[in-house]
Structure 1
């Protein structure tokens, strides 16, 4: 093909080959007015389109005027002046819209009227509505919508299930720039709770829970004023018991008799048995695995059994707990427990077994657990060989408030345990032990969080040598003082073996920042010590690490440096953090 013909063909196709360029600009207004105007403009949705033609752009330009007028009305502007200009031709256009919003509508009349049996129950709601809609104020549609919703939400919360608006109008008069709000509301009768039934679904008699047992957890009391929050609390209460996959509370409003609303609580049971298997690796524990099983609904009164076996390079333990629900709150129970295991320490081993009973109570925010436990332990730490039999009454307190139980950005937790034993009262040594740990998380900007931890422990005893290993304090390791090996900090015997101490202090501060997706970095400072005296010598560690936020927790890879001169320059720690 001759060069001249090729050039001629390219020139003919040039208008179709060129990329379209459409620019849209809104002038004359700012803030919410401008943002809403731009959101209403259909022509802005075509700015990045490369297949535009002249007819499409002109059509969109014609639509712009009505769209901009509509965008201004929620703010009370019904008489705007809009100067619209379209310049250029295919493939380049520039659309400019200059807006003069004009005068704003003014509320000249606010007519709020409540009628019906419950008219006197809405005084506070009416005052709130008048603060939103006041004669003489500029018109704002969102204020009207918010005021209108107040009565319906309050009515439902107070049990007026038939409440409705007889008349609800926003009357705008663009001719004189005025508006009237008319809200006439009929409350109807106030409803009360009727009887409720609990439908446990298609379960066999052996798995069906006693109806009276379940009812003690339901806060619905027939005769009380219908309250949707109580209905929601009932759903949460039964869900928290752990017996059901789903709980749904159905309000049968249409079957109400004499103002009493019956309810049906439909449940879907969980499997009677549940098994968990885990495998992993931690710097302190080495390779580890676990097997756990839950046996739910052992009888009609909700008794359950939890069994768990944990295996690692330093610890082997099998434990079981029989749980008997008590009280009227999910989580309150009487427990019978037992365990057997062995653990490696820095300078020896310990073998133990024990049984105990406890009572879990939830009187407020604190989880309280008074208990009594029998422990037999044979421990060998350096030059110390100890055999102990202990009958230990104690109390455990737990307080937790987290915004996310897996990845906590804001929250705190506190765990405190006090227990002891008396020699010659079925025990081989007298002591009282206090052990407490507090943790907190605080968000720092959008991608960072600060994590804080403080731990303190104390044994009051004059017979330290008789204490078994599990009742002594050690420090060092992944969840203690990074930079030091696991349980390497503590008093030593004549041969230099770590044998633990009576007093423990550890603390940590960490800054964690996400840098890309779920990947982050962290810097930390740890400190603490263990001694036979109340004020132990402190050891410090610093370091940095990598973080990966997974569905099961934060996977941590830390490099810790101990500030003591006799320690290796860097220790590697691998673990998973759940919550705090």
Structure 2
């Protein structure tokens, strides 16, 4: 046989065998890479087992660690486990251990007999000095788990010492120190004792409190202060003052500087440096949504009109469907960062497929907080002319109302969990300078909850109208459904009771709900599935319209942007609708 041919045949056989060998090698490497060491504890559970595992250096070693290193750390395990057990009060543990090297990885077992835990038979905690009668220290000592009869826990003991020192610093006991701090353990009797003796010394007070600014009336800024010259030093009160001044909208920079080094006779001077915000601000916004089309907004704010904190806000919004102009004059009240008096005026022009309206409003509002809710009380004079189908309505109303709103979120731009709730009650009466009498109750809510890697979003809106002559109400006080913030399979405000010509004229009642699941797909992009249901109607038995669809989400630098494809249950008007919108989730 030709030697050259024999060589080729041999090479051919080798190439036929080699891929299979490589395959087994790759599989073996994959299994070894996927395997994890086995470290099992018996005889213990709960917090003790967790602390033993955390204190074991062996638990951090992978399968690929060399055998000599595993054996060395295994020998060290007795000392490490004993130390970890002592931290939780177990001073006489017994253990049996075993180490094996088997495929695909090494295994270690530890059989622990923890014995009886050591308990505190004596706890002496003494606070002397002015802090002895301080309510904050009394509360701290009542809440501590370091007490007679409790199991020895070195972490609780160290935490208590740190909390005493931290609280002393926060409350101005700057000369405080521990005279004695002991944790004594008698393993033979399973008993221990704690002695903590803290001498707080005097509590420092605020010497002078200077607000370094010349822009605003001192009496206005004094309303923000929860601490004054002569008061006991309180870091929490200073932080509250800082936050209130920073949230006031008056200042670009707020810096609170206690002069610890210059403290004399137990008094600390505090200087608050305030840099006023720019007096005038302009904002330009460009957006788009399916309901309103392209939108341009221009805003002008006069942040400081006078030394008393008065300000002016104005905004012009232009779109082919909904355009408005609003001006608002704000006056701070007794709690200026919470309570405000607002005088406002505005004009709105709405032109949808079903209605056209021109509305002028002049109003007075008070803004404040009540039980964690933002509360707004208002009195609006409203003049509106609207065309609804073939019906023209002209009405002048004096509308008092009150609304409450609350929003909570774990993240402002992209919350994983949060909620938004709004409630409003409003009405008018013919005997009070109005052309119609009615009462309306509106409620809206949105909830976001994590579900797996994605988010579950639930939204609900409802409204109820009580009116003897509903047809006298203008368009802005009637309910419509449909659109990118309602039932997405239908056009903007295209759902509601209809007249004899089939034109939607608005209803007494509103109900709109949505269930959506959003799942991240890559980077800032997410996909969504949703189901909507809702309608506006004159009777609750009129039935709901439904739609379902899919969506694409992008967390852009300016906020979430949404693109939805919705298919309506009733396809007499549209087989599907595409909605584009942007804005915060809550």
The corresponding residue for 1:409 is 417
Equivalent residues of 2:479, 2:510 under 8 A apart: no
- Is 2:173 the partner of 1:168? no
Equivalent residues of 1:539, 1:563 under 8 A apart: no
The corresponding residue for 1:339 is 346
| Alpha-carbon distance change, 480 to 513 in structure 1, aligned in 2, over 3 angstroms | closer
Equivalent residues of 2:304, 2:311 under 8 A apart: yes
Higher deviation after alignment, 78-87 or 337-346: 78-87
| Alpha-carbon distance change, 549 to 507 in structure 1, aligned in 2, over 3 angstroms | same
| Alpha-carbon distance change, 440 to 500 in structure 1, aligned in 2, over 3 angstroms | closer
| Alpha-carbon distance change, 138 to 346 in structure 1, aligned in 2, over 3 angstroms | same
Give the drift of 1:528.
2.8
The corresponding residue for 1:479 is 485
The corresponding residue for 1:312 is 319
The corresponding residue for 1:9 is none
Give the drift of 1:239.
2.0
Equivalent residues of 2:375, 2:405 under 8 A apart: no
Give the drift of 1:355.
3.6
Show the 5 A alignment for 1:136-151: 137-151=150-164
Residue of structure 2 aligned with 1:539, choices 522, 535, 544: 544
The corresponding residue for 1:395 is 401
Give the drift of 1:416.
0.6
Give the drift of 1:24.
6.3
Distance 1:499 1:555 in 2: 31
Distance 1:372 1:39 in 2: 63
| Alpha-carbon distance change, 72 to 319 in structure 1, aligned in 2, over 3 angstroms | same
- Is 2:533 the partner of 1:519? no
| Alpha-carbon distance change, 283 to 536 in structure 1, aligned in 2, over 3 angstroms | farther
| Alpha-carbon distance change, 224 to 260 in structure 1, aligned in 2, over 3 angstroms | same
Equivalent residues of 2:383, 2:397 under 8 A apart: no
Higher deviation after alignment, 252-261 or 180-189: 252-261
Distance 2:153 2:402 in 1: 56
Give 5+ residue unaligned stretches, structure 1: 4-17
Secondary structure class of the residue paired with 1:362: strand
The corresponding residue for 1:36 is 51
Distance 1:67 1:370 in 2: 65
The corresponding residue for 2:132 is 119
The corresponding residue for 2:299 is 292
Show the 5 A alignment for 1:4-403: 23=37, 25-28=39-42, 29-47=44-62, 49=64, 56=69, 60-61=73-74, 63-81=76-94, 99-101=112-114, 104-121=117-134, 122-129=137-144, 132-135=146-149, 137-152=150-165, 155=168, 160-174=173-187, 177-200=190-213, 208-253=215-260, 255-256=262-263, 259-362=266-369, 364-388=371-395, 390=396, 392-403=398-409
Distance 1:414 1:22 in 2: 52
Give the drift of 1:39.
3.0
Distance 2:583 2:460 in 1: 13
Secondary structure class of the residue paired with 2:87: helix
Give the drift of 1:48.
5.2
Equivalent residues of 1:24, 1:47 under 8 A apart: no
Equivalent residues of 1:409, 1:449 under 8 A apart: no
Give the drift of 1:578.
2.4
Equivalent residues of 1:217, 1:234 under 8 A apart: yes
Equivalent residues of 1:340, 1:352 under 8 A apart: yes
Distance 1:514 1:227 in 2: 46
Distance 2:41 2:431 in 1: 87
| Alpha-carbon distance change, 134 to 349 in structure 1, aligned in 2, over 3 angstroms | same
| Alpha-carbon distance change, 22 to 571 in structure 1, aligned in 2, over 3 angstroms | closer
The corresponding residue for 1:455 is 462
Secondary structure class of the residue paired with 2:220: helix
Give the drift of 1:146.
3.9
**TM-score when normalising by structure 1:** 0.80
Give the drift of 1:323.
2.0
| Alpha-carbon distance change, 99 to 295 in structure 1, aligned in 2, over 3 angstroms | same
Give the drift of 1:321.
2.0
Distance 2:206 2:488 in 1: 58
Equivalent residues of 2:123, 2:146 under 8 A apart: no
Cα-Cα RMSD:
4.0
Secondary structure class of the residue paired with 1:71: helix
Residue of structure 1 aligned with 2:426, choices 402, 418, 421: 418
Secondary structure class of the residue paired with 1:250: strand
Equivalent residues of 2:495, 2:536 under 8 A apart: yes
Higher deviation after alignment, 468-477 or 442-451: 442-451
Give the drift of 1:67.
3.1
Equivalent residues of 2:360, 2:384 under 8 A apart: yes
Give the drift of 1:508.
1.0
1:184-224 CA-partner distances (Å, limit 9, x unpaired): 12232234444422235xxxx6xx23332222122224444
Residue of structure 2 aligned with 1:574, choices 562, 566, 580: 580
